[in-house]
Amino acid sequence: MTPFGARLRALRADRGMTLTQLAAQLQVSPAYLSALEHGKRGAPSTGLVHQVCDMFGLIWDQAEELAHLARLSHPRVVVDTAGLTPEQTALANRLAQTIHRLPPETVAGLHALLDATTPPPKPRLRRSAGRGVK
């Protein structure tokens, strides 16, 4: 199951909706929605994430969290280690080979370690309407 799929299932259960009811509201097939919840399909489109947010009336921070979970929900991840150190390549391979055996507390610890060592994203600059670059 992907992070997005788990959250979608929880939202649906909280609202007492069946998979078929939600699929009809979102105008997708129940089979697609089931595959999305179970991690058998790739990350959902931005449009579908927006539809889900509208459907459940999610407020701004909840919608942002759901969009973040969707970005983290690729069930088949490929890590390109070209240009990385041998140690980084070995780590990527070891993680791929052993991730299914890691206990939840180890996974949480790895998340915490990555969160602590990852710099915050740079703010995106926005241009005001009607102003072009000269």
CATH number at residue 26: 1.10.260.40
Mean pLDDT, rounded, of the chain: 87
Residue 58 CA, distance from chain mean position: 16
User: Within this chain, do residues 32 and 58 fall inside the same structural domain, yes or no?
Assistant: yes
Confidence at residue 126, expressed as pLDDT on a 0 to 100 scale: 61
Let me know if residue 78 belongs to a domain: no
In the chain, the number of structural domains is 2
Let me know if residue 77 belongs to a domain: no
Let me know if residue 108 belongs to a domain: yes
Under-50 pLDDT residues of the chain: 134
User: Within this chain, do residues 47 and 18 fall inside the same structural domain, yes or no?
Assistant: yes
pTM over cut 0.85: no
Confidence at residue 21, expressed as pLDDT on a 0 to 100 scale: 95
3-state secondary structure string across the chain: CCHHHHHHHHHHHHCCCCHHHHHHHHCCCHHHHHHHHCCCCCCCCHHHHHHHHHHHCCCHHHHHHHHHHHHCCCCCCCCCCCCCCHHHHHHHHHHHHHHHHCCHHHHHHHHHHHHHHCCCCCCCCCCCCCCCCC
User: Within this chain, do residues 32 and 63 fall inside the same structural domain, yes or no?
Assistant: yes
Let me know if residue 126 belongs to a domain: no
Confidence at residue 47, expressed as pLDDT on a 0 to 100 scale: 93
Let me know if residue 19 belongs to a domain: yes
Cα–Cα distance measured from residue 115 to residue 103, given in angstroms and rounded to the nearest whole number: 19
Question: Tens digit of pLDDT for each residue in 7-45?
Answer: 999 999 999 999 999 999 999 999 999 999 898 888 889
Question: Residue 11: which of 47, 72, 62 has the closest Cα?
Answer: 62
Let me know if residue 111 belongs to a domain: yes
Range of the domain at 8: 3-71
Let me know if residue 57 belongs to a domain: yes
User: Within this chain, do residues 46 and 101 fall inside the same structural domain, yes or no?
Assistant: no
Confidence at residue 48, expressed as pLDDT on a 0 to 100 scale: 93
Confidence at residue 133, expressed as pLDDT on a 0 to 100 scale: 52
